Amino acid sequence: MTQTDRSGSANQAHDLPQGPEASGFSVTDPLRSMLPAPGSRLVVAGGCGGIGRAVVAAALAHGLEVIVLDLPSSIAAHPPAAGVTAAIGCDAGDEQQVASAFEQIAARWPALDALIHLVGYTRERVPIESMSSAEWDAIVAGNLRSSFLAARAAIPLLRAAADAGRRPSIVLTSSTFGVRVSLSGYGPYAASKAGVISMCKALATECAPQIRVNAIAPGVIQTEFLRGGTGRPPKSTGLPLNSFSAGVPMGRLGEPADIAGPMLFLLSPAAGYITGQTLHVNGGTWAA
């Protein structure tokens, strides 16, 4: 079977690397293969949020180079850790701002190994029948449109890494609400997070085999997002946290580190044959 890559050249499937080594996995040192290689270049969109800060800290501790994208107010509220290559202020739902941010990234790094997209947004619970189109558009822009804009801007830099023999990857962020809507009032949030899952599959198909694309669907995680998001005025999102916690088999709500580990794993050589998948990290909520 002949497969045509996105640059227009045709590759025979049997000409591609074969076996575990094709994804960079080391059969002699498998644990080392379960994290991205030290020196890998990673962009974390939403890197000043609760999960974002955990991802950035873990990435830096493992020797990755990291650039953070976030709202200027988020960067001011939670300045990125020492060792971050750059922190770029950016509204992830604004096309021109995202394009400008990635122009700045390209000026520093001609190739990119990984993008983690953690930008997310919701508001007070409002039934769809009572919601304005502006409210709907704002929530969809904060979740689905922002994922599209960041992935589209990152792909040329990720392809440059693939052309250099590296194994680039994207991890998007969905939600348990993207699959199961257990509360009313989250229509646009649920719809946009379901859209992220479908976009993950589309991107994985379009970008294979050069770029892998996966998603994480967190359950309820203890971060500022539960109060409206980092860098935004505090407001209730209406989540009944006590009842959520009682329904989690693990007996607690999630912490940012519970998501950071799986995200870095999905960027690693050990995940080199995983693409187009959504990993649900929710403490076993759906097992109950």
Nearest to 117 by CA among 237, 244, 203, 11: 203
To the query of whether residue 189 is one of the catalytic residues in this protein, the response is: yes
DSSP 211-248: -EEEEEEE-SB-SGGGGT-TTS--------HHHHHHT-
Q: Which residue has the tokens 């680039």?
A: 168
Residues 6+ apart with CB under 8 A from 116: 42, 43, 44, 45, 55, 170, 171, 173, 263, 267
Residues 6+ apart with CB under 8 A from 108: 67, 85, 86
E strands, the chain, in order: 2-4, 10-12, 41-45, 65-70, 86-89, 114-117, 169-173, 212-218, 278-281
8 Å CB contact between 213 and 229: no
Contacts of 56 (CB under 8 A, 6+ apart): 44, 47, 66, 68, 80, 81, 84
CA angle 212, 216, 220 (to 5 degrees): 170
Active-site residue, from 121, 186, 189, 273? 189
285 Cα distance to chain centroid: 21
Catalytic residues: 189
